[in-house]
Amino acid sequence: MTKQPTLHDVYGAHARIKPLIVDTPLLASAELADKTGAQSVHLKLECLQHTGAFKVRGAANKILSLGDDARQRGVVTFSTGNHGKAVAFVAGRAGIPATVCLSEHVPAYRVEMIRNLGAQVSVKGSSQDEAEANYRELVQNRGMIPVVPFDDPLIIAGQGTIALEILSELPETQVLMIPLSGGGLMAGMAMAAKSINPGIHIVGLSIQRSPAMVESLKAGKPLQVEEKPSIADSLLGGIGFENQYTLPMVEKYVDEHLLVGEEEIKAGMFHLFDTHRIIAEGAAAVGAGIMLSGRIDVKGKRVVSIVSGGTVDTTAYLQIIEEQLERKTHP
C-alpha cells in the first residue's frame, strides 16, 4: 500500500495539472446565506471545469504522472460518467489511448460524451461494481494502466487542489460542504483543508438512495449497497471492496455526514438555476438542497459548498425545472 497523500502531494498536483484545468470561480450566494443564517455562503463552481466536472483534476494528476512506457500501453478506467469523460479528455490531450468501462445504468448521454472525446467505451454489467470487474479484466488481459475514479493517491491529491483554491481566496472559510460517493473528492479536499486549518468543519453529503460510504463507515469495512435510480446519478456506486485510501481518509477527516433526498436535490437544482442561472447536475446540487431544507446548522458561519459538475441530460433537467417552477408558482 502506498502511503496516503499529503498536503505536499496536493501542492505538487496543483503545479502539474495547472495547464489542463480551470481555476473555477467562487460565487457568493446572499440568498443561501439569508435562508440559513450563515455569515456567508460561496459556491465553488466546478461545473465550469473542463468536461463539466471536478474529475478532470484527479485524472490529469494521474495521467500526467505516467512515464513513456506506461503512456504507450494506454489507460483504462471505470466510471459513472464524469471520471470517464475526464480520463478521455486528459488522455486525448496527452495523445494516450483510453478505454472507459461503464455499467448499463450510466445514462446514454454520458456514454456519447465519452465517445466524442475519443475514448473507446466498454458497457457491461448492471452496477458500478460489475463495471469495475470488467475494467479489471481489461487491465489483466491488455496490460493497460488503470486510472481508478477515486481510490488512488494521485487521484485524491488532484481533487484536493480544489481546497487549495478555496482557502487561497477565502482563508477564513469555516465550513466546507462536499458531495460524497466513492470519496476521492472528499478525501483530497478534507485532508488538504484540515492540513491547512485543522478547525475547519467538513460536511459530507451523500444521497439517501445509495449511501455506500456512510454504510461502509458504520460497518468499518467496504460494503456493497443496492443502487437505486437517483437524479444524482454520479453519486451512485460503491467504494470498491479493496478500498485502501478513501474510506480511512473520510473516517479521519470528515466531521459530519448528511443524507440528501431526491426532492431536496431537485429543489437545490432549481434554486441554483432560478437564483444564479447555474446549470448543476443532481450531485452538484446536494449542498444547496440541504441548506434549503434547513437540516444543517451553519448559523453565523462562513460556508463554501462545492457545485461539483454540470453534466445533466437536457430533457430530464428541463422537466425538473418545470416541475419545481410549477410548485413555486402554484404551491
Mean pLDDT of 48-73: 95
Three cell numbers, residue 282: 443532481
pLDDT digits (tens, 9 = 90+) for 118-167: 898 999 988 777 888 888 888 998 889 999 889 999 999 999 999 999 99
Task: Please list the residues that pair with 43 across neighbouring strands.
Answer: 27, 305
Give the pLDDT mean for 219-236. Answer: 89
Of 170, 150, 163, give the one whose Cα is nearest residue 10. Answer: 163
| 80, pLDDT greater than 70 | no
* SS3 call for 101: strand
In 3-state terms the chain splits into helix, strand, coil percentages (rounded to 5) of 50, 15, 35
Of 78, 249, 60, whose CA–CA distance to 148 is shortest?
Answer: 78
Measure CA 56 to chain center: 10
- CB contact at 8 A, 5 and 164: no
Q: Which of 226, 225, 224, 222 is nearest to 244 (CA)?
A: 222
Looking at residue 296, what is its pLDDT? 97
Q: Is the pLDDT of residue 31 over 90?
A: yes
Cβ–Cβ under 8 Å, residues 210 and 226: yes
Q: Please compute the mean of the pLDDT values over residues 164-181 and round it to a whole number.
A: 98
Provide the pLDDT for residue 1: 54
All three cell numbers of 71, joined, read: 503512456
Cα separation values, 80 from 77, 134, 223, Å: 10, 14, 18
- d(Cα 52, Cα 68) in Å, to the nearest integer? 28
Instruction: Specify the pLDDT at position 208.
Output: 95
Distance CA 228, CA 130 (A): 15
Neighbours of 289 (CB within 10 A): 26
79/94 Cα distance (integer angstroms): 20
- What ranges in the chain are assigned the alpha helix state H? 7-17, 30-36, 56-63, 68-73, 82-94, 108-116, 128-142, 153-169, 184-196, 212-219, 246-253, 262-276, 286-293, 314-329
At position 250, the amino acid (one-letter code) is V
Mean pLDDT of 95-117: 87
pTM: 0.92
Distance CA(201)–CA(173), nearest Å, equals 9
Q: What's the 3-state SS for 250-265?
A: HHHHCCEEEEECHHHH
pLDDT digits over 262-308, tens only? 999 999 999 999 999 999 999 999 999 999 999 999 999 999 999 99
